[in-house]
A and B are shown apart, each in its own frame.
Chain A
Amino acid sequence: MKLSPSTWVGIIMLGLFVLVVVFGPLLAPFEVELHAADLTNQFQHPSGDHWLGTDSQGVDTFSQLLWGARSALQLSLVVVAISATIGIVLGTVAGWYRGVVDEILMRIVDILMAFPGILLNIAIVAVVAKPGFWVMVAALCANGWVGYARVARGQVLGLRERDYVAAAVALGASNRRVMFRHLIPNLMGPALVQITFGFGTVIIVEASLSFLGIGQQVDYSWGAMLDQARSFMFKRDTDWVTLYTLVPGLAIMWVVLGANLLGDGLRDRLDPRQRGRG
């Protein structure tokens, strides 16, 4: 498959991110848990020991960055996998059976779309007393599947008219076989594009939630780091605040940019009708 240069840039950016996730915590020079707090070393500027300085607890910023990458990837992989599976299956079922099933599903989609996504996520996470990893997953999946369901349904509405689907039905294939053998494999292209963009979205939403102080309270998550920088904006020196804002912020941008470049490239390859749009 021939890919455009910008698609390769996206692949390389995401590849580096995955490498950091896998090996980063092994290489992290310092511990990042709360017991590693070292109040004699607060707000350090970059030095030989602390490459990116330290935070308000005296914890090494570079180590936080590496561990934050892992927590961001873990959550987004699980969320995207679950919501894509739910969305693709529901969308396929709705598009294939039409009628009441379709009507009900599309109304649910309308309802979920009639409300700002992140506020719904906040509502779900915030009512649980001690939100852990799986509460975050549930909250992000609660409306995350909608986009995939729309893509899958739209594709199935077109695919169901194809000759090979008619042939499969004529040969006596069951509904299940038609959906899983003929429809879903053929809608995976556009779904994959959606998955790539969705990955970037989940990273941003997760960071937004931890920025707002909602969710698993991990100090080294990128959103929590940004929140820390914000809260010391008027209290600490310019260099420290700038650095501590840019480090997690640029990390988020790196991943989201990679996902967008790859998503654009895949869309041009896999979904030619969309070529040149958006």
Chain B
Amino acid sequence: MSIGSFLLRRLGSGVLAIVGVSILVFLFLHLVPGDPIDHLAGGEATPAQRKQIEKCMGLDKSLPAQFAAFLGHVVDGSLGHQCPDPKGKPTVSDRIAEVVPYTFTLAVAGMLVAVIFALPLGVLAAIRRGSWIDTLATTVSLSGITIPQMMFAPLILFVFFIGLGWSPGPTETGWSGIILPALAIGTHLMAMLSRMTRSSMVEVLGDDYVRTARAKGLPEGRVLFVHALRNALLPVITIVGLQFGSLLSGAIIVEKVFARPGLGTTLLDAITERNYPVVQGSVLVIAAIYVVVNIGVDLAYGLADPRIRRA
């Protein structure tokens, strides 16, 4: 199968998944009792104002018509209108575009933290099995997996900002402000990755081709990093890709602790204010990011493992 038809098939099933999530959320929002107009208009809205919001959100139309209108807004890229219309940011995509960079930076920074610490730790632990560094790696990964973000994030902010004064406060927006949030969000992934890298590397080191590489006199560094590591990284790449999504959702807690804007927070706010268009729009964007990342992972797989490329 060529790369092209593979991509096409993956894109197809990805679009299917996105449409599925959209329909699910749409139905869900509209079937649950509760009047969004009360929330958006406030208690003292005149009937005329209520009518206006109802019309703006399209709530006066039938369900299928509303869904068709939503699809139309997806096609024209606006993702719908905000009601009531706040000044300057009339469409849902404006509101989302404003926060996506924050979430994206945070997720990428978290991923970097995770990979930078996890790979060396996992590889060293696998090479020196049973040594103190192996014990260290096991301890680090077990604590990283079990420590709840709701405790870790406030603690590091507390220690490094209030206690030691080493890091800038939560409102700092420059690059130095990203360090603590990235650490908070990346720790769990780091723990999982180092564990994965270790066990995958241990397995690969026992394989025949590693013995062959050693037998033919290759330098140990080349055996470890070219022959072994490249194969050991395959399952690690999968986890990295799958977990990118969990970084997006983990972001919601870190965003709260560090008072950062972001996609998760926007969705949470939109749900509490029952702003249907914004909920629909953010869900769509999050699902789309998921799908794109997963396709990227599959492609990365092909690069790392020629066997898959040919298959």
Contacts and interface: CB of A to CB of B under 8 A. Distances in A.
A242, A253, A276 — which one has the most chain B CB atoms within 10 A of its CB?
A: A253
Given A115-B290, A208-B253, A245 B155 contact: yes
B16, B21, B146 — which one has the most chain A CB atoms within 10 A of its CB?
A: B146
A212 B34 contact: no
A169 interface: no
Interface of B: 13-14, 16-18, 20-21, 24-25, 28-29, 32-34, 142-143, 145-152, 154-155, 157-158, 162-163, 195-196, 199, 202-203, 245-246, 248-249, 252-253, 256-257, 264, 267-268, 271-272, 274, 279, 283, 286-287, 290-291, 294
Contacts of A242: 155, 158
A208 B162 contact: no
Contacts of B196: 278
B148 A207 contact: yes
A226 B154 contact: yes
The number of chain A residues touching the other chain, given as a range, is 35 or more
A127 interface: yes
B17 A111 contact: yes
A119 B249 contact: yes
Given A118-B252, A127-B29, A245-B158, A111 B24 contact: yes
Contacts of A226: 148, 150-151, 154
A234 B162 contact: yes
A1 interface: no
A214 B145 CA distance: 23
Contact of B34 (A129, A200, A204, A229): A129
Nearest to A210: B150
Q: Report whether over half of chain A's contact residues are helix, strand or loop; otherwise say mixed.
A: helix
Contact of B286 (A115, A223, A249): A115
Given A123-B25, A127-B34, A129-B34, A114 B17 contact: yes
Interface of A: 107-108, 110-111, 114-119, 122-124, 126-129, 200, 204, 207-208, 211-212, 214, 223, 226-227, 229-230, 233-234, 238, 241-242, 245-246, 248-250, 252-253, 256-257, 260, 276-278
A107 B286 contact: no
A246 B154 CA distance: 10
Given A114-B290, A116-B286, A238 B162 contact: yes
Nearest to A250: B151
B17, B28, B157, B291 — which one has the most chain A CB atoms within 10 A of its CB?
A: B17
A212 B20 contact: no
A109 B253 CA distance: 25
Contacts of A229: 154
Given A115-B283, A118-B249, A123 B271 contact: yes
Contact of B203 (A111, A126, A260, A276): A276
9 contacts: A107-B17, A107-B20, A118-B249, A123-B279, A127-B32, A129-B33, A233-B162, A245-B158, A257-B142
